[in-house]
Chain A
């Protein structure tokens, strides 16, 4: 066994570092580093740079215009982007709907939608969860009724991340209310500019506007916008979820957060010594370090299996559970490290363009990020659901 990266992989990492150092605009990386919220334009500027380089769709095969990277290269790419404080690529187009369109879409759909994703012409968002269908996604109630060559769609979607910027919505709808729960679902692509689509903001406890609810009121969607057969939506949905959960360990982010925490705790003084020397604090940092080491190797094991032809399965559930727990613990330790300085809240700095004095600038986002990171164990399938998946599929319980 050998856990080192090959010379080619290391050269690839060097190439990425040089690219990131040159191409990533410093105002954007600064915003990411300080934990300030990104504007739509911040995402788009960075994604246009990646698109020009041919690296936006890091998971796409060459035939569709991707770089044709394997899972190990994608992992290195994610890690280096996080280390450089690059914005996370908005995943709903490139990483989520695109693989579904490649796998289940018609040639016409592929030719129409995929280039628009590569060029950032479309901003996609996800219409999965509903007020009554969260962990029980297949319990969804949004109804699509056939009317000639259209569906008339009525219902409500929620927790739609960055939906306020999106012009396209991929959506699970119920086309057959009499079929068995999963069997009556279809996968639709909806243009958000057409009448009947309303987006309303949901403000989260950190004061951020990241998620939305979407109301669909007699929305007329051409039947041609259905991906896969009618009633095949659940197959598309599950396929998409395996892609959603790849990379969900957030390893690059965890590494970055740990580096930040250590540097912070070495600078902050506690009774005349760096906080890192306080045994109770240091021990928690060390435990997080061990968890990260273990997670990294587990992640590499899953990646190696995927590289050698395996499909990411229930192992991604394990990565999701541990990865989210680790990132939450790191956000807790960062907030804690600040002591009383974690208390002041400056929403106009975090959301907008206000400036603060140097010291406050470095510390302003810690508590808000701690609260924001609570989402990690809830979204993408709550950790309780992930554990049930592991119990069922790995342990056969």
Chain B
């Protein structure tokens, strides 16, 4: 048993803490979001220089072989600064899927430039009416005349606009789930772009008889790999939420100490002290769950999914509690767009809508519990 970070991990943590403190703060966030929609921001180039784009990938695909803990360190720092760069949606998720399925030509064409920061990708796994179930897929892929043809619609695809290509899951004629590389300019694709309420660029992707060469098929049976990739994503989201929860708690505590009403700092009122303690408890319990998720990624699938689902469910509840209390303890100022904590609160509440909410993951835990 060892909760200590290695020397390298401590260095990574220090570097990221400095990077986030120096370069990303809420005033700049909106400007950054508006200025760099094509994934070519200064910060992304810094990520490349620091090796962050190679970090989460195994050495046999040219990565640095970082593990769940390394990913947790990175995501937690990004959560702390609400870093808008699509590190998870544009790099980790599609990159892991490529790393686990692509042949060497596909790696050269799509994965290598991703790790070099030359392009970004997206992963389209979600469909209307399927809620959070990645395996309820109506998009069809059929093979004819030595080509694949895809038809269907993907919902709320993160980083869709910036992606050079989107990895799209589709149902094959034999009932298995396949995954395909759909370049942004493929004829037959159309997009409806928007931002999410927590300010992430996203869109819907419609595929109308999109024709792809055989080499654009990554896998004709991707279910197990997709589950693995989504587990990585869920653990990463938990870590990111921990960073945001830390910051929301810190900002709230600082506000309680500074704001005076009835001639006294709010931090002297016992009812508010206890509320602040409850927030802290939620944070620490969630941190434990996020560590559990980060260190479970290499376990056998059912054990991994059980622990990751438990962590995602737990963090989802805590994230909302902390967000709501952070607003309430700030009072009306916490409801304003200008207030930093409001941005963190939005992120923390919407955390539950990415890669499955706590109800969804409690069902998974409950299913696996019965089986055990």
- A: residues with CB less than 8 A from B are 129, 132-136, 139, 158-159, 202-205, 207, 211, 268-271, 278, 280-281, 328, 332, 335-336, 339-346, 359, 367-368, 370-371, 374-375, 377-379, 382-384, 387
Contacts and interface: CB of A to CB of B under 8 A. Distances in A.
A379 B333 CA distance: 11
B34 to A, nearest CB: 14
B349 A278 contact: no
B129 interface: yes
Contact of A384 (B129, B194, B272, B334): B272
Contacts of A132: 260
B331 A340 contact: no
Contacts of A133: 261
11 contacts: A139-B262, A204-B335, A205-B335, A205-B336, A205-B343, A268-B131, A278-B359, A280-B359, A280-B363, A344-B197, A387-B271
B261 A134 contact: yes
B46 interface: no
Contacts, number: 121
Interface in B249-279: 260-263, 269, 271-272
A159 B194 CA distance: 30
Given A344-B194, A367-B197, A375 B332 contact: yes
B262 A136 contact: yes
Contacts of A129: 332
A343 B342 CA distance: 16
B29 to A, nearest CB: 14
A339 B337 contact: no
Contacts of B194: 344-346
The interface residues of chain B, by DSSP majority, are classed as mixed
Contacts of A268: 131
B328 A205 contact: no
Given A134-B261, A136-B262, A340-B155, A202 B336 contact: yes
A377 B328 contact: yes
Contacts of B197: 342-345, 367-368, 371
Contact of B337 (A204, A280, A384): A204
Interface string B184-226: 0000000000111110101000000000000000000000000
Contact of A135 (B156, B331, B350): B331
B332 A159 contact: yes
Contacts of A340: 126, 131-132, 155-156, 353
B330 to A, nearest CB: 9
A134 B133 contact: no
Nearest to A339: B131
A199 to B, nearest CB: 16
A384 B273 CA distance: 12
Contacts of A134: 261, 331-332
A162 B202 CA distance: 32
A124 to B, nearest CB: 20
Which of B197, B327, B343 has its CB near the most chain A CB atoms (within 10 A)? B197
A98 B337 CA distance: 33
Contacts of A368: 197
A343 B262 contact: no
Contacts of B363: 278, 280
B336 A270 contact: no
Interface string B347-372: 00110111001010011000000000
B347 to A, nearest CB: 11
Given A344-B202, A368-B197, A379-B332, A205 B337 contact: yes
B324 interface: yes
A344 B195 CA distance: 6
B336 A336 contact: no
B128 interface: yes
Nearest to A357: B192
A280 B357 CA distance: 12
B45 interface: no
B282 interface: no
A346 to B, nearest CB: 7
Contacts of A375: 332, 335
A378 B357 contact: no
A369 to B, nearest CB: 11
B75 to A, nearest CB: 19
B346 A270 contact: no
B345 interface: yes
Nearest to A374: B327
A383 B329 CA distance: 11
Contacts of B346: 205, 371
B359 A281 contact: yes
A280 B335 CA distance: 29
A125 B128 CA distance: 43
A348 to B, nearest CB: 10
Contacts of A207: 337
Contacts of A205: 335-337, 339, 342-343, 345-346
A139 B202 CA distance: 46
A374 B359 contact: no
Nearest to B158: A343
A345 B347 CA distance: 13
Contacts of B126: 340
Interface string B126-146: 101101110010000000000
Quick one: which of A135, A268, A281 has the most chain B CB within 10 A?
A135
A278 B197 CA distance: 26
A378 B353 contact: no
Question: Shortest 10 CB-CB distances between A and B: which pairs?
Answer: A136-B261, A345-B197, A339-B131, A205-B342, A343-B196, A203-B337, A367-B197, A136-B262, A340-B156, A344-B194
Contacts of A382: 328, 331
Contacts of B343: 205
Contacts of B320: 332
Contact of B349 (A281, A371, A379, A383): A371
B218 to A, nearest CB: 23
Contacts of A341: 128, 155-156
Contacts of B155: 340-341
A336 B337 contact: no
A159 B331 CA distance: 11
A345 B195 contact: yes
B73 to A, nearest CB: 27
Given A270-B131, A345-B196, A374-B334, 17 more contacts: A134-B261, A136-B261, A139-B262, A158-B332, A207-B337, A268-B131, A278-B363, A336-B359, A343-B198, A344-B202, A345-B194, A367-B350, A371-B335, A371-B349, A375-B335, A378-B332, A379-B332
Contacts of A344: 156, 194-197, 202
A378 B350 CA distance: 21
Given A205-B337, A207-B337, A377-B328, A339 B196 contact: no
A339 B362 CA distance: 15
B358 to A, nearest CB: 9
